[in-house]
Amino acid sequence: MYPTKYHKAASIDDAVAALGAGEEALVLAGGQTLLATMKQHLASPSDLVDIRAIDGMSGVSTDGDMLVIGAATTHAEVAGSADVQRLCPALAGLARGIGDPAVRHVGTIGGSIANNDPAADYPAGLLALGATVVTSKRQIGADDFFQGLFTTALDDDEVITSVRIPAASRAGYAKFRQPASLFALVGVFAAQGAGGTRVAVTGAGEDGVFRHVGLEAALGADWSAAAAGGVGVASEGLLADIHASAEYRANLIGVMAKRAVEAS
C-alpha cells in the first residue's frame, strides 16, 4: 500500500474538515472494498477518515414505520437487528447474504452504498424500498443517489450519516451469486409499499443498479411469481462479461424476480 494518514473522526464536522483538508482524502468505514483496492495500488488516498467512532453513526433505530440505519452499521448488525427483521425482513435477509461472515462483521451499509459497486446488494434494496440517504449536508432520495457505476450524488467532502428506509408491506430479495467474488451476478429486490411497486436490479446493468419498469408494472397489477415470470426481460443495456452474457443475465432477472416475490 502507498502511505496514507489515518484519522479517527470524533464528529461529523471533524470528518468533513479532515476530508476537505486532505489532498485526496477518502472516508473509511468498514474498508472491505477500499483496503483491498489500496493493497492492489488501485487507490492511494492521502488520508483516510474513519467515521466509525462518531457518536450515532452505528446502530438501527425506528422513526414510526421508518427504519433509520446508521451509516457505519455493519451488515451483521443489520441482519441481526430485531427492528429490521420486524419492519423489513427482506432487508435483513439481504444483509445476511452479503459476502461472508467475517466481511459482514466489518463491512457497513454506508460504505456499500457510497461505493455503489454495480454488483453490490444494498443499492438494489435501497432503490426498491425508496430509501433516503442522509448526509452531512442534505437528504438524497435513492432514485437520485445512485448515478451509475461506482458513482453517487455525494460530494467529495460529504459524509453519509444514515439511511432512512420506509417499511414495505411486501418485499423480497433474490440473488444469484457470481461464483468467484460472491457479489451479485444478478440480484432483484421487489417491494410494495406507500411508494408503490418498485423493483430494483443489481449486478446486471451496464450503468449499475436500475429499476425495471416492466417488472414493476406487472407486479403492481398482480404481486405474484407468475406475473413476474410473465415479463419478458430484454438483454439490451445489460452487462456482458466472462461470468455471464447479457442474455443469461436477462434470464436471471426474470427468475430472480419470481424468487424475490416468492420470498416476500
For binding to other proteins (CB under 8 A), which residues are involved? 1-6, 8, 28, 31-32, 35-36, 38-41, 48, 50, 52, 76, 99-103, 105-106, 176, 179-182, 242-245, 248, 251-252, 255
Task: Give dist(CA 154, CA 99) in Å, integer.
Answer: 25
Kindly state the smallest distance separating residue 32's Cβ from other proteins, in Å: 6
Beta bridge partners of 26: 48
- Give the contacts of 20 (CB within 8 A, at least 6 positions apart): 157
Nearest distance from C-beta of residue 179 to other proteins, angstroms: 4
CB of 65 to other proteins, least distance (A): 26
Please state the closest distance from residue 16 (CB atom) to other proteins, in A. Answer: 19
CB of 10 or CB of 36, closer to other proteins: 36
| Whole-number Å distance between alpha carbons of 183 and 241 | 14
CB nearer other proteins, residue 77 or residue 131: 77
Closest separation between CB of residue 1 and other proteins, Å?
A: 5
- For other proteins, the closer of residues 130 and 205 by Cβ is 205
Task: Specify the residue, 63 or 180, whose C-beta has the smaller distance to other proteins.
Answer: 180
- Cβ distance to other proteins smaller for residue 80 or 148: 80
Task: Pick the closer one to other proteins by CB: 38 or 109.
Answer: 38
Give CA–CA dist 35/148, Å, rounded: 22
Cell of 227: 406475473
CB of 2 to other proteins, least distance (A): 6
CA atoms within 13 A on the CB side of 124: 36
> In angstroms, how far is CA 120 from the centroid of its own chain?
6
Cα(83)–Cα(63) distance, integer angstroms: 11
61's enclosing H/E stretch is strand 60-63
Q: Which is closer to other proteins, CB of 76 or CB of 199?
A: 76
Q: Nearest distance from residue 27's CB to other proteins, in Å?
A: 13
Cα–Cα distance, 91 to 77 (Å, whole number): 12
Q: What's the rounded Cα separation, in Å, for the pair 264 and 259?
A: 9
How far, in whole angstroms, is CA 67 from its chain's centroid? 15
